[in-house]
Structure 1
Amino acid sequence: MTELFLSAFVTLFVVIDPPGCAPIYAGLTKGASPAQSRSMAIRACVIALAILLVFALFGQALLGALHIELDAFRIAGGIMLFVIALDMVFEKRTQRREDRAEKVMATPEIEDVSVFPMAMPMLAGPGAIASVMLLTSKAPGTEGALVVLAALLVVMALTLAALLAAGPLMRVFGSKVESVITRLLGVLLAALAAQYVIDGVRKAFGL
C-alpha cells in the first residue's frame, strides 16, 4: 500500500502541478487583499477536490455506462498525460495557463478566480481527472481506493499551501526555479504516462 500511495501521490502531484499553479495564482490575485486571496485559494482547492472525488468514486460507473473498457481508458489516459508532459517539458502548458490568466485579468468584472480558471481547468483539468480515474480503477479493492484518495487529499493540501504562499515564494525563488521544477516534473510524467499505455496494451492484448 505504501508503493500505491507513492505512485498515486507522484502522479497526481505532477499532473496538478502545484509549483506551476502558484505563480499564475499570484498573478491572478495581484490586486486582491490577503484575506480575499486566501479565501479564493481555499475555495479553488475545495471545488477542485470535489470534482476529482466525483470522478474517482463514480468514474468507472461512467465508463461502464458509455461501454468503454478500462484498458482503452488506460491507453487514452496515458497518451493524454504524455501530451501534457511534453507541454510541461517545452513550457507550452505554462504559456497556455499564463495566456488564460491574462484573459481573466483583462476582464475587470471577473473578480473571483476560484472557480474559473483555478479550480477548473487549472487544478481539476482533463489530466487530473484521467489520472484519478486510472489510479482508482487499478487500486486493489476498497482499501486501495482509500489509499489513492488519501494521496489526492495530500496533494490538494500541498496545492493549497502553494497557492497561499504563492506571492512570497515568487519573490524568493522567481520564475527560473519554477521553470526548472516544471520541466523535471514533465519528464517524470512522461515516464508514468508511457507506463499507463504499456499496461493498457498488455492487458488489452493479453500479453
Structure 2
Amino acid sequence: MDFKPLVTLLAIVNPLAIVPFFIHYTQDFTPAQRRRTIVIASFSTFAVIAISAILGLQILDFFSISLQSFQVGGGTLLLIGSINMLNAQPAEAKSNADEVSDAAARASIAVVPLTIPLLTGPATMSTVVIYADKAHTFWQHAALVGYGAVIAAATAMCFLLAEPIARVLGKTGINVMTRLMGLILAALSVEVMADGLGKLFPALLGR
C-alpha cells in the first residue's frame, strides 16, 4: 500500500499547526461547545478530502482542465504552502480578519475558518485529485478516502489535546514542527510539478 498520499496530506493539513488557532477561536466556548466544534471540524475535513477523491476528476472534466495542468497548478500551490510553513505559518492560512470575525459571528468557525481554509484548502483539494488520478482500482480509491478518515482522526486528537500540546510544545515547538512539515511538503511539491511538466512537455524528459 502506498502511504505517500497520507504523508503528503498530513504535511499539508498539519493539524498541530492549527492548534493555536483552535484555542484562540474557542477560548470563550463551553466544554460542550468545544467538543461540538471538534466533531464538526473533523467531519468537515474528512468530507472535503472524500469529495475531492470521489468527484475531483469529474469536476476537472466538466471544466475541460487536463490533469497535467492541474498537477502543475496544484504543485505550485503546494510549494507556496510549503514556503508559508517554512516561515512557521499554516499552509492553508488565507483568511483575513473580516472573514474570521464574520465566521465567528455566525458561530460557524468549525467549518470557516478552521476547516476551510486553515485545515483544508486549494492545496489539499488539488493534492487529493492528483492522487485520485493515480488510483486505478476501487481499493486504491477507498484507501484515499480512508486517508481522509485518518486525517480527520488526527485533527480531532490534536484539537482534543490542544491545551496540553500548546503547553508542552510552546510556540517555538509548534513552529519547529511546522517548518519540518514544510520541508517535506516542499520536496513533495517539486515531485508533483515535475511529473506534470514532464507530461505536458515530453521534450523535458528527452522523449
Same fold (TM over 0.5): yes
**Residue aligning to 2:38:** 41
Candidates 18, 27, 38, aligned match of 1:21: 18
| 8 Å Cα contact 2:14-2:178 kept in structure 1 | yes
**Residue aligning to 2:53:** 56
The CA distance in 2 between the partners of 1:172 and 1:65, in whole Å, is 48
Candidates 46, 71, 75, aligned match of 1:78: 75
| 8 Å Cα contact 1:91-1:183 kept in structure 2 | yes
Runs of 4+ in structure 1 off by over 6 angstroms are: none
| 8 Å Cα contact 1:29-1:37 kept in structure 2 | yes
Structure 1 residue 18 displacement after superposition: 0.9
Structure 1 residue 137 displacement after superposition: 1.2
RMSD over equivalenced CA pairs, Å: 2.3
**Residue aligning to 1:88:** 85
Letter in 2 for 1:196: V
Structure 1 residue 113 displacement after superposition: 1.4
**Residue aligning to 2:154:** 158
Q: Does 1:120 align with 2:113?
A: no
Query: In the superposition, relative to structure 1, how do residues 102 and 164 fare at CA in structure 2: closer, same or farther (>3 Å)?
Result: farther
| 8 Å Cα contact 2:77-2:123 kept in structure 1 | yes
**Residue aligning to 2:27:** 30
**Residue aligning to 1:198:** 194
Letter in 2 for 1:138: K
Candidates 63, 69, 73, aligned match of 1:66: 63
The CA distance in 2 between the partners of 1:21 and 1:131, in whole Å, is 19
Structure 1 residue 102 displacement after superposition: 9.1
Structure 1 residue 87 displacement after superposition: 0.9
What 5-or-longer segments of structure 1 have no aligned partner? none
| 8 Å Cα contact 1:20-1:94 kept in structure 2 | no
Structure 1 residue 90 displacement after superposition: 1.4
Query: In the superposition, relative to structure 1, how do residues 95 and 75 fare at CA in structure 2: closer, same or farther (>3 Å)?
Result: closer
Query: In the superposition, relative to structure 1, how do residues 164 and 155 fare at CA in structure 2: closer, same or farther (>3 Å)?
Result: same
Structure 1 residue 109 displacement after superposition: 3.5
| 8 Å Cα contact 1:28-1:113 kept in structure 2 | yes
Structure 1 residue 141 displacement after superposition: 2.2
The CA distance in 1 between the partners of 2:5 and 2:93, in whole Å, is 26
The CA distance in 2 between the partners of 1:151 and 1:145, in whole Å, is 10
Which string of whole-angstrom CA distances, capped at 9 and with x for unpartnered residues, describes residues 31-58 of structure 1? 1111111110111111222122112111
Choose 84-93 or 54-63, whichever is displaced more: 84-93
| 8 Å Cα contact 1:13-1:155 kept in structure 2 | yes
**Percent identity over the alignment?**
28
Structure 1 residue 111 displacement after superposition: 3.6
Query: In the superposition, relative to structure 1, how do residues 183 and 115 fare at CA in structure 2: closer, same or farther (>3 Å)?
Result: same
Structure 1 residue 172 displacement after superposition: 2.1
Candidates 114, 130, 133, aligned match of 1:134: 130
Structure 1 residue 105 displacement after superposition: 5.8
User: Alignment length, in residue pairs?
Assistant: 203
Letter in 1 for 2:127: S
**Residue aligning to 2:172:** 176
Choose 17-26 or 175-184, whichever is displaced more: 17-26
| 8 Å Cα contact 1:104-1:110 kept in structure 2 | no
